[in-house]
A and B are shown apart, each in its own frame.
Chain A
Amino acid sequence: MGKKTGEVQTVDQFLDSTLESVDSAEDLVLNVAQKAGFPEEDLHKIGMAVRESMVNAVVHGNQYSAHKKVHVSVSKGPDRLTVTIADQGKGFELDNVPDPLADTNILRHSGRGMFLIRAFMDELQVRRLSPLGTEVTLTKYLGRK
């Protein structure tokens, strides 16, 4: 599905709560990002941020439920790429995610996903959806170091 409003072009898909959907979302977003002109290194960062966000949505949000979908939307504007990933899970508070760089957490098995998303994208927003779900919005600007 796709639509064009002014200079912003948006493509979106509803994906199953499976690990295969992580690959599908990455492909969808990278296809748009490549056409938008992002350099190779930025494409790697965008792809990784999308993968981590999708894993959060599929594994922690929807918990692989066959009854829940992940809505992925990617918009290409004149100066930026905006990706929105929304699940139908119980949600979480970003402030409650432990800092993976803290000495007490450095050797933990998990908990680095949100940190990597922040590191690789220019902006990250998280909001709770009603009645259920979490929506993360990732933004990457063209030409920003």
Chain B
Amino acid sequence: MSVKLSTRQVGDVSVLDVAGRITLGEGSSALRDTLRDLVSKGHKKILLNLGEVSYIDSSGIGELVSGFTTVANQGGQLKLLGLTKRVKDLLQITKLYTVFDVHDDEANAVRAFS
């Protein structure tokens, strides 16, 4: 399995659950397409749940950044939930950890959208 994506609504927040590998090819393009689809449908509060992401490469990091800027450019917010240690380490060494609003608890993350 490369990557599995599913979307659900929690109030007015769209939660995108991601599982598997976000790497160049199928994984990163699936994430890009899903985020663009949400934005094109007017979703402006997007919570990206990365709790089941086992692996992410520089292409996957690029998709997170692109998603963040795409949503922001539409006046929305993209937040991250449930980073594994490896994903957190990657965001820290690339200095992106402070760019994103990162949460460990879904309820808190949903409340953080305002």
Contact = CB atoms under 8 A, between A and B. Distances in A.
Interface of A: 19, 22, 44, 48, 51-52, 55, 59, 100-101, 106-110, 112-113, 115-116, 119
Interface string B62-101: 1101101100000000000000001000100111100100
B24 A116 contact: no
A107 B69 contact: yes
B99 A113 contact: no
17 contacts: A19-B24, A44-B86, A51-B57, A52-B57, A52-B58, A55-B57, A55-B59, A101-B95, A106-B95, A106-B96, A107-B69, A107-B99, A109-B63, A110-B62, A112-B94, A115-B94, A116-B90
B49 interface: no
A112 B58 CA distance: 6
A107 B58 contact: no
Query: In terms of DSSP, what is the predominant structure of the interface of chain B?
Result: helix
Q: Interface on chain A toward B: helix, strand, loop, or mixed SS?
A: helix
Contacts of B99: 106-107
B24 A55 contact: yes
Interface residues of B, number: 20
Contacts of A100: 94
A29 to B, nearest CB: 15
A116 B58 contact: yes
A59 B57 CA distance: 15
B57 A19 contact: no
Contacts of B102: none
B65 A119 contact: no
Contacts of A22: 23-24
Contact of A108 (B24, B65, B95): B65
A106 to B, nearest CB: 6
A55 B58 CA distance: 10
A116 B94 CA distance: 8
B69 A51 contact: no
